[in-house]
Amino acid sequence: MLKTMRKNVKALAPTLWIVIATFIISIFAIWGGAGRLGEKSQEETIAFMGRDHISRDSYYQALRNRLEALQKEFRGLNKSFIEQLNIPQQVLEQMIQQNLLSRKAGEMGITASSQEVRDRIVSLFQRDGKFIGFDEYRRILEYNRMSLSQYENSLKEEIVLNKLIQLLTAGITATPEELWENYRKQNESAKIEYLLLEESKVTYDQTLTAAEIQAYFEKNKAKYSLPERRQGSYIFLQTEDFKKEVQVSDGDIEKYYKDNLGQFKEPEKIKVSRVFLSATSKDKATLQKDAQAILDRLTAGSDFAQIARTSSEDEKAKEGGDWGYDDWRRLSAKEREEIEKLSAGQMSGLVETTDGFSILKVSEKEPEKTQTLEEVKARVKSTLEDQKARELAAQRIGQIEKTARREKSLDVAAQNMGLKVKSTGLLKQGQALEEFDPAGSVSQALFGLKEKQVSSPIYAFTGTGITELEKVEAPRPATFEEVGQDVEKDLRAGKQKEITLQKIQAARAQVENKNWEEIAPKVGLEFKSVAEHKKEQYLGVIGESPEIDRLAFSLPVNQTSEPVEFATGYALVRVLERKEASREEFEKNRQTELTNFLEAKKNRFLQAYLDRLRGEKDVKINSNLFMQVNNDILSRFESQE
């Protein structure tokens, strides 16, 4: 999209393109996602927020736009990656927060005038420090198929929200003590090393007697109870079973292809290698001389990969300086600009950055292209078959639901359709039915029903279902027979924990005043080190540990700590060096520190404020519809895995 815009309006400043790209995404993905209840039925509502709601269509469009934007940034974006990043949850949460804040601004009488919107447009659309003019401004929006009203309403929302946030956070300040302590937390560090032993690495293979297990249960009875459980009858229709009933014509495939061309665009492919010399070890003149000598050798025909292995000083040196098709996008802006200028097989001159000097080589460069219909025909056909099969399954479930509500029996409705109901068995809330519902949607639905009540359709990735609540079992203490296996597991874990502590306590005396990296394997411990540990920093295997944070800044240097417990084992800690915060440096950077600290403090306040608004507006998510929409959109990314 941006490439098309550049062809038409080549002279715009780079910052303007960023602004436009942001709003192309955000107009639909964030602004204006909610409406009044009553505009659509509740079955078409993803999220409820008091009198407001977010419709299925607005969420669908928002998620789709977000994913299409991400596709331009990440090659090979697939369903698994999308789920790992929690993109659907993030999009919905943004829409909810937008609505909550907009509603609050309205209640407080905060508005944006036409002049404020106009001033904002003038400030955004500039070339050489001057407004580009309303004719060109309109033309840019037209090229991107955006109406003036859409764009300007989004700007109005932005201005209103900025006013609201400024008003809400106006009283947030920082005391000198707070600021100094925060500076210390950010700038004080300790060079530490630690030895650890995880319980899973300790063997406990002794047989536990029935009497021992029973005694452990009697001693820890309060720990074992059964939560409320519910049982229902259900029907589930697998999408796959309906594929034989659907037909996809060539016309269907061609229409889908034309309507969704963005899905079939393959981004520009650029493969980059780099030789990098760091500025940390030499003065600039010497460094530049060394870099020029390397460039001369490369220009004379020396092998780039070999030079990178022997001379480069970055994370890719061992790989011959190969930054691949994507990793190079993490390089500095100056380096990325240089890469864009190079053709396939071409090498740059010396590129000076704040960190040193780079020599860049582009080994491959292919322009962005759109796959042909023939190339993607099978993929589109599979997607359409899946969509139509889902629609057919949902239609049948809808018929079953209608009959079940009329007859007040899911079993009768099933018989009318020639189907049989199955029993869920007793389920905890959120418990999965592994065969078809790993997300636990059926059990979630059961916990929203009254006895003999039939649910709305339940959408899972593999199909569509419906359930009727049969019985409710109240929470109660568990009997030994019901939790015996869990009791034995807990007892065995406790024994492992005891042995783990004994082993690391025994090793403590052996490692005192020794080289921990060398002695660790001999005493059966794992060695780790951190050059600059800061408070609240995540530690490999251990995670975050307030106790290790405390020791890092209080334990005498070179003294071995007592065993420190963490989630899965124990560790010994030793401090080798400490770097203390400088009052002088703090005073030099006080204003920057204050700005950053207040920004973080305001963000924490706003998050807490939004959490409170969520409670006040009783925000509820229609999880079945949320899952249905996600499955529909994400199924299009499966073939890319």
Q: Which residue has the tokens 């053709």?
A: 343
CA neighbor of 192 nearest in space, from 460, 507, 557, 518: 557
Q: What is the pLDDT of residue 546?
A: 95
Mean pLDDT over residues 354-378, rounded? 91
Q: What is the pLDDT of residue 640?
A: 54
- Please state the separation of Cα 194 from the chain's center in Å: 30
**What φ, ψ does residue 320 adopt, rounded to 5°?**
70, 25
Percent of the chain with pLDDT over 90: 63
The fold for domain 189-218+482-579 equals Chitinase A; domain 3 (3.10.50)
The fold for domain 226-248+385-477 equals Chitinase A; domain 3 (3.10.50)
pLDDT, tens digit (0-9, with 9 covering 90-100), for 310-327: 999 988 999 999 999 888
By the 8 A CB rule, do 384 and 256 touch? yes
CA neighbor of 14 nearest in space, from 241, 336, 233: 336
pTM: 0.58
* DSSP codes joined into one string, 237-300: EEHHHHGGG----HHHHHHHHHHTGGGGEEPPEEEEEEEEEETTSS-HHHHHHHHHHHHHHHHT
254 pLDDT exceeds 90? Answer: yes
Band of pLDDT at residue 35, cut at 50, 70 and 90: very low
**Whole-angstrom Cα distance, residue 5 to residue 18?**
12
**Whole-angstrom Cα distance, residue 577 to residue 560?**
13
CATH topology agreement for domains 189-218+482-579 and 226-248+385-477 = yes
CATH classification for the domain delimited by 268-367, as one of 3.10.50.40, 3.40.50.300, 3.40.50.720, 3.40.640.10 = 3.10.50.40
**Whole-angstrom Cα distance, residue 627 to residue 460?**
7
Class of domain 2-171+601-640: mainly alpha
**Whole-angstrom Cα distance, residue 142 to residue 139?**
5
Q: What is the pLDDT of residue 8?
A: 34
Sketch the domain layout of the chain as residue ranges.
2-171+601-640, 189-218+482-579, 226-248+385-477, 268-367
Mean pLDDT over residues 220-241, rounded? 94
Band of pLDDT at residue 23, cut at 50, 70 and 90: very low
**Alpha carbon distances (Å) from 201 to 126, 204, 490, 506, 621:** 62, 10, 17, 16, 42
pLDDT, tens digit (0-9, with 9 covering 90-100), for 435-478: 888 878 899 899 989 999 999 888 877 889 999 999 999 999 99
Average pLDDT, the chain: 87
Band of pLDDT at residue 291, cut at 50, 70 and 90: very high
